[in-house]
Amino acid sequence: MLRLNLDRMRNDLLKTKTFGRSCRYFEEIDSTNNYLKDYAREKGSNTPDGFLVVAGSQSAGRGRVGRKFFSPGEAGVYMSLFTRPNTSTENFVRITPSVAVAVCGAICSLAGKKAEAEGLTKPHIGIKWVNDIFLNGKKICGILTENVTDETGRMGIVTGIGINVGRLEFPEDLKNVATSLANEGYEINKEELIAEIMNRLEFYMDGLNTSAFLKEYKEKSLVLGKEIKVMAEDPYIATAMDIDENGGLIVKRGDEVLHINTGEVSIKL
């Protein structure tokens, strides 16, 4: 049921100009991000904008700061997208929050329709800064954005998205912090989910110059107004106050207001 029909996705579900129109599927791969970065380096400027790589499973899926990403066979959406954003490199920092908003919106829409049709509990979906998607209090999706440069020196972006879709038995270290759509009662079609993400993401990527993601990112934030722990070299407790136009987090520590552009936070319980 969870195997992919990419022809149906492209022909019947996609509404994009380029995102996902060129795509490749692997039953198993080490990492979709690794493959797509190598492909973009080899093909250079011939790499199609919006080229999508999807895998049934990953043997070496990666998250941020070198963490492993749990990617068992046919239980999730594991994909990477190559793009050449039509904006200045200064706006590239807006890509990761744009992806988070697109993924969050796609899951919210499809799971919400499922809940309404079958009388299920309405899903509670949000974003933990900067790029983790949570469903009903547990992580369901991770995002990894990386740069790649072609032979002309032009920079492209490879964005990896991993979503737990099917029913999963998580290892001991993840069972209390991660979940999947099916585990929460939402059986979602994978082609529909991929297409919905591509449709939304192309819109937000086209709007990088105007921070098109920002309003929805704030609305879906799980940290704003809360006490958080900022995982810096010297971790500290602060209150999350706002999100700036680049997706950076504005926090207050005592009387000091700080802008955080990279890193990680945890919600203080």
**Stated pTM of the model:** 0.92
- One domain for residues 105 and 183: yes
Number of domains in the chain: 2
Q: Quick: pLDDT tens for 202-256.
A: 999 999 999 999 999 999 999 999 999 998 889 999 999 999 999 999 999 999 9
Last residue of a domain, one of 177, 198, 217: 217
Query: Cα–Cα distance between 168 and 201 in angstroms, integer?
Result: 27
Number of Cβ within a 10 Å radius of residue 81 = 28
For residue 45, give the CATH number of its domain: 3.30.930.10
For residue 254, give the CATH number of its domain: 2.30.30.100
Q: Quick: pLDDT tens for 11-61.
A: 899 999 999 999 999 999 999 999 999 999 999 999 999 999 999 888 876
- pLDDT of the residue at 250: 97
Last residue of a domain, one of 217, 238, 255: 217
- One domain for residues 123 and 246: no
- One domain for residues 188 and 248: no
- One domain for residues 119 and 10: yes
Asked if pLDDT for residue 97 goes beyond 90, the answer is yes
The answer to whether the beta carbons of residues 138 and 178 sit under 8 Å apart is yes
- pLDDT of the residue at 2: 44
- Give the domain range for residue 11: 6-217
Query: Cα–Cα distance between 177 and 269 in angstroms, integer?
Result: 14
Phi and psi at residue 156, to the nearest 5°: -115, 170
Q: Quick: pLDDT tens for 179-193.
A: 999 999 999 999 999
Query: Cα–Cα distance between 36 and 161 in angstroms, integer?
Result: 13
Range with the poorest average pLDDT among 83-92, 146-155, 198-207, 240-249: 146-155
- One domain for residues 176 and 250: no
Share above pLDDT 70 across residues of the chain, in percent, rounded to a whole number? 93
User: Mean pLDDT, the chain, as a whole number?
Assistant: 91
